Amino acid sequence: MNDRVVIEITRKEREALKELLKVFQRERDSIISFSLEGIIRENNRKEEIMKKLEYFKGEKDRLFEYVDNEDELFQSDVWKSLTMEIERTMGEIKIALQKNMKLLSFSIDYVKSSMDHILGFIISFNYGKKTEKGLFFSQG
């Protein structure tokens, strides 16, 4: 009986991981399009899914104490199939996470460079003209 419950929770865990992968893909799209709103939305969604995954892990750990024959469960085709799918999805999540981190780093560098360029322009504009008051900087 508990074997079936553990299998069912593992299926839910697999589905949550697949959803997490989709979230990383949507997050990538938001990063590429410079959508801060999208990045925040997907980040919140990741947090929700991580809470679900924590819950599933806790439930599985608790239920494993009551499994009649762990070896039989671990040798079953259903368990092997589920764990293979979970491992494959985790690998894809790891790759997606690494890509998103690189994209975010690139985006941050791009924004910083743009801001430096704009600030340099403003400073040169300000100091290139004789004005009584600076454009953005108070003189006092």
Phi, psi for 22 (deg, rounded to 5): -60, -40
The domain ranges of the chain are 2-128
Q: Indicate if the pLDDT at residue 54 is higher than 80.
A: yes
pLDDT in tens, 16-53: 999 999 999 999 999 999 899 999 999 999 999 999 99
* Mean pLDDT, rounded, for 99-122: 85
3-state SS assignment for residue 68: coil
Q: Over the chain, what is the mean pLDDT?
A: 88
For 85, residues 6+ apart whose C-beta sits below 8 A from its C-beta are 14
3-state SS assignment for residue 106: helix
What local confidence, expressed as pLDDT, does residue 114 receive? 81
SS (H, E, C) 74-94: HHCHHHHHHHHHHHHHHHHHH
Our measurement of the distance from residue 117's CA atom to the centroid of its chain's CA atoms, rounded to an integer in Å, reads 31
Share of the chain above pLDDT 70, in %: 89
